[in-house]
Structure 1
Amino acid sequence: MYNSVGWSAYTAQPAILNQAIINSLDIITAWQNQRLIGLIRTVGDGQTILYIQDLLVAPGFQQQGIGTKLM
């Protein structure tokens, strides 16, 4: 997903990206059949702060409201 939207700084170090995903407060995804087409990743303190770190929609599915629904 990250490569498909050009976020290569994330994918240059897959182990770090994997750990970042594991340590996220939540990951919400959108799927079309078995294909991941959207992802939102949140970070925060688990009590009062929630930050949208990543919001990605696959290029062929952008401008269709998927990002808005993930929010």
Structure 2
Amino acid sequence: MVTLDLSTAAWRKSSYSDGGDSNCVEVADGYPGLVPVRDSKAPQGPALVFGAEPWAAFLATVKGEVR
């Protein structure tokens, strides 16, 4: 198991966010091959870390694109 130090991560909200502070998913860039994801309502809580390829496949599925 690999542990990432996300204490200095630059988080950004999903482009599908309603612009508010609730029900938002945030992702951090700058981790080659990995995509850290967290709940904006709990920024000090745990983050999930996905591989870049599975994350891209997930997004394509959510968007209705075929991969």
The higher relative CO (CA closer than 8 Å, separation ≥ 6) is in 1
- Point out the structure with the larger helix share: 1
- Return the structure number with greater strand share: 1
